[in-house]
Amino acid sequence: MDMTSRMTSHFDDALDAFRASSRELAPVLAAAVDLLFGALANNARILACGNGGSAADAQHFVAELVGRFERDRLPLAGIALNTDTSILTAVGNDYGFDTIFERQVNALGQPGDVLVAISTSGSSPNVIRAIEAAHDRDMAVIALTGKGGGQIAGLLQETDIHLCVPSDRTMRIQEVHILLLHALCDGIDALLLGDPL
């Protein structure tokens, strides 16, 4: 395969992942918008976490909430749990890396808040522990995963929402995750600003 064909194959593969996700996830995504909007409307907060590329996605999502997405509006309450290096290194050093999000959920999370937990594999131990802590604090969870959902799929409760990208390739899952997060932002803004659906 020449390099141009190889590059073209990335676009084709990504389009396949987007189409499959659209078919499977659009109704679930709409429910996630309703859950997030309901929490924000009741003065609750959105906590988000992930590792690596998923950490970047969590941070990006919260930036869209606190800043703005496409239009000016009031800031929305969001916290990315993977951005405070002092907390991450102190907790990681003292209690272990698997606890870095769990302890923050226990410190900051309140009933009615929502945890957006991002893990392409669905099996990140620190994200799993954050989900368990969120459940202990009567928080709902929106999990963004891929690869069949991994261990996270078995942890979710009826009140949680699972956005599992139908792909086994990490890069494709991450590409769809950012689309899902942008769609969540758009849906929240549509409800907040009274856009017709």
pLDDT classification of 1: cutoffs 50, 70, 90? confident
SS3 189: helix
Closest alpha carbon to 48 in 80, 82, 84: 80
Ranges assigned E (strand) in 4-148 = 46-49, 78-80, 114-118, 140-145
pLDDT score for 11 = 97
Burial class (CB in 10 A: 0-12, 13-18, 19+), 104: buried
- Return the DSSP state at 159: T
Tokens of 21: 């996700």
Mean pLDDT of 118-127: 98
Is the model's pLDDT at 5 over the cut of 90?
yes
What percent of the chain has a predicted confidence (pLDDT) above 70?
Answer: 99
pLDDT classification of 197: cutoffs 50, 70, 90? low
Is the model's pLDDT at 196 over the cut of 60?
no
Distance CA 72, CA 74 (A): 7
Total tally of structural domains belonging to the chain: 1
pLDDT, one tens digit per residue, over 60-78 is 999 999 999 999 999 999 9
Mean pLDDT of 36-57: 98
> Is the pTM higher than 0.75?
yes
Is the model's pLDDT at 106 over the cut of 90?
yes
Query: What does the DSSP assignment read for 86-125?
Result: HHHHHHHHHH-GGGTTHHHHHHH--TT-EEEEE-SSS--H
Residue 67 lies in domain: 3-193
User: In degrees, to the nearest 5, what angle opens at C-alpha 68 toward C-alphas 101 and 84?
Assistant: 25
Distance CA 182, CA 67 (A): 13
CATH of the domain at 152: 3.40.50.10490
